[in-house]
Chains A and B, each alone.
Chain A
């Protein structure tokens, strides 16, 4: 993935590792076939709209609302995943306890489960008559069929990303670093905030970006739990489906193109911060 490369431009430098030309050729061909051609088809279709029409479709109030909900909930979910993902990774790397392997394997389950199944299961739990929902309902808290429900679904599908990107980096940090900090008089809090977390920042940001990107595009799990009310809990992917139901292909394409553009910009920003922080604090760079 692009954000992994911390090295500078090395195209011309002779390498001791053979096969560069072939490997790059395969990489570019594969990326073109799998990513570039489908996405450029999208851009091509939306470019046929013309700027003014594209802008009118993209700035439609309902579209803007759906995009806000999609990106907003994905962002919140990614933040939650960042915090708890780091804690989870920490527990898995630093401690030994019975059942550790089972927990380690459980982290990956959201990858394997069809998202629609996850959505149905979460809705059953968080609906006003579900196990969790029925406990919250007397307190006046509604999760299912509100934007909060969307966040819950996105936290679920995004969970493995942060854990799995932070975990290997955490394993690389020697315990001696902590000991050195302690001998130099750092408190526990200082050790964590000044020594450990900065080193984890690049990996954490990668995990954040992955979880965020996953959340923005998520459809299957969300439509069951969201309630799908226009202007309230209607996500952009659902609006795309609705436009397709209306055989309104231009509008669907416009929303998709805006999502693509926004995601690309956000990933680029996160990528930049991440490579800066890697240079600043990075381990093994």
Chain B
């Protein structure tokens, strides 16, 4: 989106400007780091950034400003590849960070092992958001392909969240058909015939479902679904947790190539570690992300998460296999959309 790119550029300009000020010696004690993130983390990082800046000031006496840039996960990854000077990336998909590692060389290929829990300080899952009272009686994935059900999901080609949606649906169908991948593909193909609009990102889909009133069910990040409830009032929507979903692991990584250039490694590393701290975990749970260490979070926050059988990306051979198989040009998603099928 033009506006996003514009803010991205402005941030870039700010960062560059900040560097120049720094080199002039005008603002030596001040450090600015840039966290390049994906769409539904706006609220989370607003809180995390404020808390971390305060803690860093208390611990070291230095003032640190954290800027966060949001957008579709893939687009954000490309901005970093194209030279956006991110200190850390906190994206929706491992595949996007892999792409940065591969295309720019600014992140080592073994980045996933550098922080706990596959570098995912918090996880999430995919749930259904339906209209109040669940008028179409949607309980599980199988209901989504019934007649006159419209499903809203973003385009897996442009949205990280949509890829989790896709795989969650696949996981259910595979389990329901005794592990048959062909049947799973048939189901997912059916499912996408019930999708009337493909937005480019998770927030766009939420808007389509919530504001435009289109569709009977929104496939959404769990945190995004709760946020919609919180902001729009539980009078209009409710959350349905399906029998099987996927454990979505949005990972974080340090962009070594940039922090070493800017001399911000120490603070950037501390920032990512902070996500694993008690405050970081509390904030994650508060914003409806499932914390890596639930015992650190507020019990009343963690109690909100419904029990659900969660499959992991490993059942698809990890992102290194799943990404090209399902979402690359000519992959399963493209085959589903071949005309005449």
A contact set with B: CB distance below 8 Å: 61-62, 114-116, 123-124, 127-130, 144-145, 219-220, 223-224, 227-231, 238, 241-248, 251
Contacts and interface: CB of A to CB of B under 8 A. Distances in A.
Contacts of B200: 223, 228, 238, 241
A145 B78 contact: no
Contact of B78 (A116, A123, A220, A245): A245
A219 B2 contact: yes
B212 to A, nearest CB: 4
B196 A220 contact: no
A227 B213 contact: no
Interface residues of B, number: 29
Contacts of B78: 244-245, 247
B75 interface: yes
5 A-B pairs with the lowest CB-CB distances in the bound complex, closest first: A129-B213, A127-B212, A245-B74, A227-B197, A228-B198
A128 B212 CA distance: 7
Contacts of A251: 329
7 contacts: A127-B212, A223-B1, A228-B199, A229-B195, A238-B200, A241-B75, A245-B158
A274 to B, nearest CB: 30
Given A219-B2, A229-B198, A123 B212 contact: yes
Interface string B132-175: 00000000000000000000000101100000000000000000
Given A228-B155, A228-B200, A241-B75, 12 more contacts: A114-B2, A124-B211, A127-B214, A129-B212, A145-B214, A223-B1, A228-B199, A229-B195, A229-B198, A231-B337, A245-B158, A251-B329
B3 interface: yes
Contacts of B204: 224
B330 to A, nearest CB: 10
Contacts of A244: 78
Contact of A242 (B1, B158, B212, B214): B158
A116 to B, nearest CB: 5
B99 A128 contact: no
Given A114-B2, A116-B1, A245-B74, A145 B157 contact: no
Interface of B is mostly: loop
A242 B74 CA distance: 10
Contacts of B2: 114-116, 219-220
Contacts of B211: 124
Interface of B: 1-3, 72, 74-75, 78, 99, 103, 155, 157-158, 195-200, 204, 211-214, 327-329, 334, 337, 339
A127 B78 CA distance: 32
A115 B158 CA distance: 20
Contacts of B196: 145, 227, 229
Given A61-B339, A123-B212, A246 B1 contact: no
Contacts of A229: 195-198
A208 B15 CA distance: 42
Nearest to B333: A230
Contact of A128 (B72, B213, B334): B213
A246 B156 CA distance: 11
Given A242-B158, A247-B103, A128 B199 contact: no
B325 to A, nearest CB: 13
A224 B204 CA distance: 8
A133 to B, nearest CB: 9
B19 to A, nearest CB: 26
A180 B31 CA distance: 77
Given A227-B198, A229-B198, A242-B155, A116 B3 contact: yes
A243 B212 contact: no
A243 B329 contact: yes
Contacts of B214: 127-129, 145
Contacts of B74: 245
Nearest to A246: B329
Nearest to B212: A127
Nearest to A142: B196
Contacts of A245: 72, 74-75, 78, 157-158
Contact of B157 (A61, A219, A246): A246
A132 B99 CA distance: 43
A144 B211 CA distance: 14
Contacts of A241: 75, 158, 200
A128 B209 CA distance: 11
